[in-house]
Amino acid sequence: MPMIALAPCSTLHDYEESVRRSGGDVRVLDLQTDDPAAVVRTVDGLLLPGGRDVDPALYGEPPHRAFMAAEPGRDVWEIALVQEALAADLPLLAICRGIQVLNVARGGTLIQDIPSELEGAVNHQVREPPHAMAHDIWIAEGSLLGRLLRERIEDDTCPVNSRHHQAIRTIGRALIVTATAPDGAIEAVEDPAQRFCLGVQWHPENFYRTGEFRGLFEGFVEASRQ
Ligand code: MN
């Protein structure tokens, strides 16, 4: 059974359930003791979960007033995990904060606060219940995301939940945008040169009971098996 490394966060349960129900085993990493290069040598895939904001100093910008720092050391450690994983062509699924970490690790930048920086923004902060659909996304035909969600997509769109106040602004090296919200906010990126490298801005793990996005986790675990 493929071993998926899961970076720690405050809401592990749904991520763990999503991986297990898709045939993977989970190892929750420890920010203090797990060396990124050593992790990558001993697991089959890397899952980056949600969390607070990436320090904008890491992409060369001053902090917005709404900046909420992540745990000390987490930004740099997760960026190192991404770089080690991609260098080893290890499958990577990056969720919410994770897609932002992936983008910054590749030299991209972020919209620091969607409500004050994105004109005409839809509501990306629908908190309760966690699996409430918030807005549609448009999905690029022929993308990895499009293949994994083919049973959910109608007219190139599908509804998603949404709990984020940041999003990708300039895209990192070798990444392509494969989903956007109606206001243009980037909701998914991938690196087609990697075995499996997918970032999504919504929270597919909240649907582990009903399986709307099980295709994402099954595709990720399957790629990690190879
Ligand atoms: Mn959204």
Q: What is the pLDDT of residues 90-131, one digit of tens each?
A: 999 999 999 999 999 999 999 999 999 999 999 999 999 999
Distance, CA 32 to ligand 1 centroid (Å)? 31
Distance, CA 207 to ligand 1 centroid (Å)? 16
* Mean local confidence (pLDDT), 151-156: 96
Asked whether the predicted pLDDT for residue 26 surpasses 90, the reply is yes
197 catalytic residue (yes or no):
no
Mean of pLDDT over the chain: 97
Q: What is the pLDDT of residues 42-66, one digit of tens each?
A: 999 999 999 999 999 999 999 999 9
* Mean local confidence (pLDDT), 65-75: 97
Read off the pLDDT band of 226 (50, 70, 90): confident
Q: Identity (one letter) of the amino acid at 148? A: L
Q: Are 185 and 166 in contact (CB under 8 A)?
A: no
Q: Are 145 and 179 in contact (CB under 8 A)?
A: yes
Distance, CA 37 to ligand 1 centroid (Å)? 32
Distance CA 226, CA 212 (A): 24
- Percent share of the chain, pLDDT over 70: 100
Q: Which of 84, 205, 212, 218 is catalytic?
A: 205
pLDDT at 4 (0 to 100):
98
What are the residues whose beta carbons fall under 8 Å from the beta carbon of 167, sequence distance 6 or more?
100, 110, 111, 114, 118, 124, 185, 186, 187, 201
**Ramachandran angles phi, psi of 78, nearest 5°:** -70, -35
9 catalytic residue (yes or no):
no
Q: Which of 197, 203, 212, 218 is catalytic?
A: 203
Neighbours of ion ligand 1 (CB under 5 A): 124, 162
pTM: 0.98
Q: Which of 9, 96, 158, 197 is catalytic?
A: 96
Distance, CA 62 to ligand 1 centroid (Å)? 24
164 catalytic residue (yes or no):
no
Residue closest to 85 by CA, chosen among 39, 154, 119, 131: 39
Q: What is the pLDDT of residues 76-85, one digit of tens each?
A: 999 999 999 9
Distance, CA 42 to ligand 1 centroid (Å)? 33
